[in-house]
A and B are shown apart, each in its own frame.
Chain A
């Protein structure tokens, strides 16, 4: 436990010291990695229990668009607008989540219902083009450096915000991981009927992690919008974003805290690396490689990079013990 605390402290110091050494371009990448890492972590809060949502693009889109629209049209500060956006996202999660869990819409039926949800939100944004700018995107009114408008042209502010956000996401992840409900959620992900039969309130448990996950994703979307100062329905909502979230989380590893962040690190640096290497000659090269990797990961490494590394370390450290525990609990080992 103390080693873990030391690691966290070391990481915090490193993250705080980093801005003094790196160029603005890398600052931009770091902020992106941290923000997307936060969003992916938010997804994995429910995704790790096998509740695979393809609707997180919807929550992110609502979280990003609501504060920006309120700011441009009513001048309402994002300090109020962001909570309102989160509120809408949570409400949306409730409207779709409750009937889903009540009526036991699970597995790929759940994935497809949530997929429809992300399309509904994206197409609504496009359809309301008079207000939202449609596919052309939406730019919040810029006022320069302002705490009131939560706009900072200097990258250092958003760097600090994203570090805080990212740590906050991890804290929520650990809070759920350590809590008593985690056992209940594990039981539900193994067998819903059996979990209900031993007195677990399946609907309440599932709904709670879904709403937490939706709210955090909306927060991530809002901060992303404030940082980029430009929103586009294609980049903050819809199926593409939903799939991007799910895949990065899976590549990194859904069952560990830092897995989704590793996914963000890998996918964003891969994308940028290929972009720098090939320029614009090979549009799509990065995603081609990305697509192949995704298939390979799901076929050969369903536990993701971090999960596989952890297994390997555990395996070599106490080979026999891991082997026997795997025999005793085959279901949790091969999930």
Chain B
């Protein structure tokens, strides 16, 4: 096999790790609160700016960003999602779309459209002629660890069990003595924390600018829908499928065309399996 193709495939797998982490966060919020956060990728953007200022200027540790973005997630839930929990799903989608507009333009207002990076560049590893960025390798490993931690949290703790229960039947959970509003807040916080973790991993690889959310936001929704909205494992697998299409398509054609393939693949699969590829 062509060594450059192999490199593209490996990079695709590594990229898939971060996407899978984000898909987990988005799917968690969808499965539990039943709202599609169109602005989820822009929470990552906010996290990247927080890291840029707190780490590069004040030298605060990177992972604190998780806490900041978790707080941001709670704020979004309380201010925007909670008041419209009862309205039509499409209105909820559009409200978070308004948030997307707001976050992007507010970031433009505050920070301008310059590309910024924290100036940390991890070395590139060479392995039999294949070049692998260690930032990506690290991102993949941390994303995997995050996914496993989330799995055990959902399986082994009381709150995690309550979260899974609410995703199955939101009405009956109240009868079991669980406060739904409390669980919603916890879920938003976890979703935010995952976005913050992804922000830490992405700042090591990419420059931050107000519209960075647009580069992977749409892809993220396609991944979640493809895996079945709310289906964690489906989303996890779909993340790697999509990142492979993009990596291999980018190798043979161009980056834009590879995205065209990925989105077309999504549209076609929606017609074949309208409720997600892994739906039963």
Chain A residues within CB distance 8 Å of chain B = 50, 52, 96, 99-100, 103-105, 107-109, 111-113, 115-117, 119-120, 123-124, 126-127, 239-240, 243, 246-247, 250, 282-288, 290-295, 297-299, 302, 335
| Cα of A245 to Cα of B271 in the assembled complex, Å | 25
Supposing A295-B102, A298-B84 touch, asked if A247 and B264 sit within 8 A by C-beta, the answer is no
Question: Chain A contacts of B112 at CB under 8 A?
Answer: 283
| Cα of A161 to Cα of B247 in the assembled complex, Å | 46
The answer to whether B105 touches A116 (Cβ under 8 A) is no
| Cα of A72 to Cα of B218 in the assembled complex, Å | 32
B115 within 8 A of A: no
Contacting A120 at CB < 8 Å: which of B89, B264, B270? B264
B36 within 8 A of A: yes
**How many residue pairs bridge A and B at CB < 8 Å?**
139
Question: Chain B contacts of A243 at CB under 8 A?
Answer: 97, 100-101
| Cα of A124 to Cα of B225 in the assembled complex, Å | 22
Stretch at the interface among B141-149, B189-197, B251-259: B251-259
| Cα of A250 to Cα of B274 in the assembled complex, Å | 27
| Cα of A105 to Cα of B276 in the assembled complex, Å | 11
User: Chain B: interface secondary structure?
Assistant: helix
| Cα of A117 to Cα of B222 in the assembled complex, Å | 11
B103 within 8 A of A: yes
Question: Chain A contacts of B218 at CB under 8 A?
Answer: 115-116, 119, 239
Contacting A111 at CB < 8 Å: which of B93, B210, B263? B93
The answer to whether A108 touches B98 (Cβ under 8 A) is no
| Cα of A127 to Cα of B271 in the assembled complex, Å | 25
User: A-facing mask of B242-280, CB < 8 A → 1, else 0?
Assistant: 000000000001101101100110110011001000000
| Cα of A291 to Cα of B108 in the assembled complex, Å | 13
The answer to whether B260 touches A124 (Cβ under 8 A) is yes
B106 within 8 A of A: yes
Most buried by B among A108, A117, A302: A108
The answer to whether A116 touches B256 (Cβ under 8 A) is no
Question: Chain B contacts of A282 at CB under 8 A?
Answer: 109
Contacting B113 at CB < 8 Å: which of A126, A127, A283? A283
Supposing A288-B109, A292-B102 touch, asked if A299 and B83 sit within 8 A by C-beta, the answer is yes
The answer to whether B263 touches A294 (Cβ under 8 A) is no
| Cα of A282 to Cα of B93 in the assembled complex, Å | 28
Q: A50-B90, A109-B270, A246-B94 are in contact. List 9 more A-B contacts (CB 8 A).
A: A52-B93, A103-B274, A112-B221, A123-B263, A240-B214, A285-B105, A288-B105, A290-B101, A290-B105
B80 within 8 A of A: yes
Q: How far is the CB of B90 from chain A (nearest CB, A)?
A: 5
Question: Chain B contacts of A247 at CB under 8 A?
Answer: 94, 97-98, 101
The answer to whether B274 touches A126 (Cβ under 8 A) is no
Q: How far is the CB of B73 from chain A (nearest CB, A)?
A: 16
Q: How far is the CB of B232 from chain A (nearest CB, A)?
A: 18
Closest residue of B by beta carbon distance from A52: B90
User: A-facing mask of B115-127, CB < 8 A → 1, else 0?
Assistant: 0000000000000
Supposing A104-B274, A291-B99, A291-B101 touch, asked if A111 and B256 sit within 8 A by C-beta, the answer is no
The answer to whether B101 touches A107 (Cβ under 8 A) is no
B50-96 residues with Cβ-Cβ distance < 8 A to A are: 80, 83-84, 87-91, 93-95
Supposing A123-B259, A247-B101 touch, asked if A117 and B90 sit within 8 A by C-beta, the answer is no
B27 within 8 A of A: no
Question: Chain A contacts of B107 at CB under 8 A?
Answer: 284
Contacting B270 at CB < 8 Å: which of A50, A105, A287? A105
Closest residue of A by beta carbon distance from B79: A295
The answer to whether B95 touches A120 (Cβ under 8 A) is no
The answer to whether B94 touches A298 (Cβ under 8 A) is yes
Most buried by A among B95, B97, B264, B271: B97
The answer to whether B274 touches A108 (Cβ under 8 A) is no
